[in-house]
Chain A
C-alpha cells in the first residue's frame, strides 16, 4: 500500500493490521517515533495523521493509507518548530525517550488551540508518560511554544 510520510511517498508491503508504529520504525526506518506501551497508554508513539494527533501503536497501517503522516523527523527540517525551540530553550529533555511523543502532542495542541490553558495541557499532555518527570518543564514549554508560535505568525 501507499503511505505518505513526512511529505514523501512510500510503498510498503505490510499486513493491513500492522500498527503504523512498527511500519514507521521497522519498515521505513523512522525510529524517532517510540514504542512505550503498545496499548495507547503512554503516548510515546504519537504522530500526526492529516495534522491530528494519533497514537501510532493503536493505528492499523491500512487506516492511514492515502493520508498524510507526520513524525518527529518531519515536524520541521531543522528543529525550528516553535515547540522544538521552546523545548530547547527550557532544557526539557532528560533521557529523551518520551520526548518525540510529548513534542508531537504539544505541536498538535497549539495547532488546534494557539493559546492553550493549563486545563488544555492537562487534558492532552496528561495522556503522555515521562518517567524522568519532565512534566513541569513540559507544561512551561507548551506555554512558551504558544508564545513563539504567535511571534512567528506576526
Chain B
C-alpha cells in the first residue's frame, strides 16, 4: 500500500500502527456523492481511492475488525455497518468484531464533513463507503490468493471468510499480510443486489453479549489509576455566574481532594463520586443569576402567543392564502402547543479527561467527536490532532450527546485543567434534567379554509419557538432567509401543503435564555403532531374518514400512500373494536423514511391507555430488518412517553423538574403492543433511528378524538383537561 506524506495519512498510519498486523483498507468517498445510487452494481466513476482510511482490519487469526466512524447509542449500527462490509467481503460473520474509530478527519461523515452521528444518517451516508471497503478488501485478498496459488484472480471465488480456487481454500487470515502489500485498486465493483445474502437478512445485534453481563464500557465506567471524580455546582438558573463560594465544609468531607472554579461553576474533585457529591452538598456558592432568573413557563407561553399574532419570516408560500381565507365560508382554526423536553438518556452525561504536556485524552460517549476534539484543543492550546477521543458505548443519545457547544466535554476539560489531574466529571440525574439543551417549546396557529369538496382551499400556518441552530456554527446555512430549517421541517415541506394551491407558513424565532437542542426527530417531534392532528380535524369537519381523507391529499405521494395503506390494512382500519376503544392514524416522512402508525386507545380514570400500535415503514433498502423493527418500537416508546407524560417547565428561572419522579417518561406497563411492517423497497436507504417517533403523538391524539370527540392540542395529552 502506498504511503503518502500528508498529515491525514500520517495520523491514520499512526493509528494503524497500534493495531494488530494485517490488512488495512483505505477508502474515501467525496461528500458530493452522499446520495449515490444504492442499488447500482458497479462503483461509479469516482476519483482514485486514496489509501487514507482505516475501516477494516483482518487479523492473522481471521478476525475481521470493523472500525465504526459513527457512535453506537442503541440504534444498532454496531451490527448494520459491519453487515455492509461483510456482504461485499464474504466474511465469516462469526469472526466479525467491532470497535469505535478514534477521532480523525478520515472518519468524517460523508455528507457533513465532521465526525458526527445524528439525523438518522448513518446507514445512507455509509451505505456506499462501507460496502466499498468490503469490496476493496475482497479484491485484494483474491489477488493475494491468486498470486500465491499461481492462478488467475478470475479463477477464485470467496465464501465465508476464505478465497477458494479449485480444491484450494485459503483463509482471509492467511492472506491478510500479502493483501496489505498490494496496490490499492482505482475502482471496485459492488455486488448486484440480487446476490445480496447479508443485506436484508434480519441479524441479531453484535453488542448483546457484552451488554447482558456487565462488560460493556460506557463513559461512566471508565477507570484507571489516579483518576479522580468531579461533580460541578452549576447556576440554578441558565446563564448565572459564580460571585463567590465558600468551600470550607466541602474540604472537610473525606475523599474530597480539590475545589476548583470553572466557567460553568465550581467543581468538587474527589476520590470517588460519593465524596464529590457530599462535597458539593456542603458547598456554599453565591450566584449572580442574571436575566435567566425571570424565566417562567406561563410568561413564555404568553410570549409565543403574542408573537404568533405578528408577521413572521416566510418559510413557504404559494397562491394567496390570506385572501382565500378572507373569502372562505368554512374556516377551521386551531392552536397547538408543545413543551420543552429533556432527552434524559439513562446514562447521565459524563466525561473523563487526562491532559499531558502535549496531549489530551478524552473518554466519553459522544455523537460528535469532531466538536469535542476542537473544543478540547481550544481550551488546552493543543492542536486538534493532539486530542484523542476514545468513544465508549453511549448510554442513550437522542441528540443530547451531539452538542455544537460540546457543553459537557468543554466543562470536563476545564475541570481537569484546573485540577491539574485526570478527572471524570459526572452529572447527576438532577444535573441532567435541569441542565438545559432541551427540545424547544413551540406554538403553532393554523387557519384552514375548506373548499366545497371538503379539501383545504387555503392553509395559513404560523409557528413560534426557539431555533436550535441560532448561535451555532450551522447558523450561517440559513442566514439568507432567517428560517431555521430544523424549526419548520415537516410543515414547510409537507406533502399536504404541496396539494393545497394557497398556503403560507411563517416562522417566528423566539429568543429566550434556555439552551435548546435537537431531540430525537428534531422539528418533526412537533410538526408531525400539528400537521397530522390538523388533517384529522379537517377530515372530521368534512365528514370524511381520516384514512380516506389522507389518501385524497396524498394522491401524488406513492411512498406516503404505501405506508398509510399498509398500516391501515394491518390494523384492520374500519373494522369494529371492543366498546371503549378507538383508532387513530398518522403518516409522516422524516429523515428519508416514511412511517404510518395506527394507535388503538382507551381511557381509564382520565388516563390514556395505548393498547396496540401498528407501524408501517418504508425506509428504502432495509439493511437489517431486525434493527428497523427495534428502532420503530424504540421511537414509538420515546414519542409516546413525551405524548403522555413529559414536560420541562420553569418558575422563577428554575427548572421545576429534577428526576424521573417529576420528569415522567414511559414505563413498561404503558408500552403498547407494537407491530412493525416493512415495505419492500429498492430505493436508497433512509433513516430509522428517528422516523418512528413523530407519528405516535398525533396517532394517539387522533384516536382520543375518535373516542371522545375531544381534540387535544397540547402535549403532553391531558384528556378531560
Chain A interface (Cβ < 8 Å from any Cβ of B)? 15, 18-19, 22, 25-27, 29-39, 41-42, 44, 71-73, 75-76, 79, 84, 87-88, 91-100, 103, 121-122, 125-139
Contact = CB atoms under 8 A, between A and B. Distances in A.
B633 interface: yes
A135 to B, nearest CB: 4
A18 B393 CA distance: 27
Contacts of A94: 74-76, 630, 634
A26 B271 CA distance: 9
Interface stretch (B6-14, B370-378, B469-477, B662-670): B662-670
B212 A87 contact: yes
Interface residues of B, number: 62
Closest 9 CB pairs of A and B: A32-B214, A133-B637, A97-B395, A95-B74, A96-B211, A94-B74, A135-B671, A26-B272, A72-B214
Interface stretch (B218-226, B300-308, B507-515): B218-226
Contacts of A19: 274
Interface string B50-94: 000000000000000000000011111000000000000000000
Contact of A93 (B205, B229, B660, B666): B205
21 contacts: A22-B272, A31-B220, A36-B347, A72-B214, A79-B213, A84-B212, A87-B208, A88-B208, A93-B74, A95-B73, A95-B393, A96-B74, A97-B345, A99-B212, A125-B668, A133-B637, A133-B638, A133-B666, A134-B630, A134-B634, A137-B633
B617 interface: no
B177 interface: no
A113 B683 CA distance: 48
A31 B626 CA distance: 29
Contact of A72 (B213, B229, B633, B660): B213
A37 B208 contact: no
B347 A91 contact: no
Contacts of A34: 218, 220, 346-347, 395
Contact of A134 (B394, B626, B633): B633
Nearest to B274: A22
Contacts of B428: 38
Nearest to A79: B213
From DSSP, what is the main secondary structure of chain B's interface residues?
loop
Contacts of A18: 274
A136 B344 contact: no
A21 B347 CA distance: 15
Contacts of B586: none
Contacts of A29: 223
Contact of B347 (A75, A92, A97): A97
- Interface core residue of B214, B393, B638 (most chain A CB under 10 Å): B214
Contacts, number: 180
Contact of A88 (B212, B223, B638, B674): B212
A93 B346 contact: no
Given A35-B348, A96-B207, A122 B669 contact: yes
A44 B635 CA distance: 21
Given A26-B229, A75-B213, A95-B345, 13 more contacts: A34-B218, A34-B346, A36-B429, A44-B346, A95-B347, A95-B397, A96-B74, A98-B346, A121-B668, A125-B668, A129-B660, A131-B344, A131-B665
Contacts of B210: 96
A38 B428 CA distance: 8
Contacts of A76: 213
B243 interface: no
Interface in B346-368: 346-348
A133 B633 contact: yes
A129 B665 contact: yes
Interface in B581-639: 626, 630, 633-638
A7 to B, nearest CB: 15
B452 interface: no
A96 B429 contact: no
B147 interface: no
Contacts of B72: 95
B273 A100 contact: no
B681 interface: no
B660 A37 contact: yes
Contact of B667 (A84, A92, A129): A129
Contact of A126 (B211, B221, B430, B667): B667
A102 B271 CA distance: 29
Contacts of A136: 633, 671, 673-674
B204 interface: yes
Contacts of A135: 637, 666-668, 671
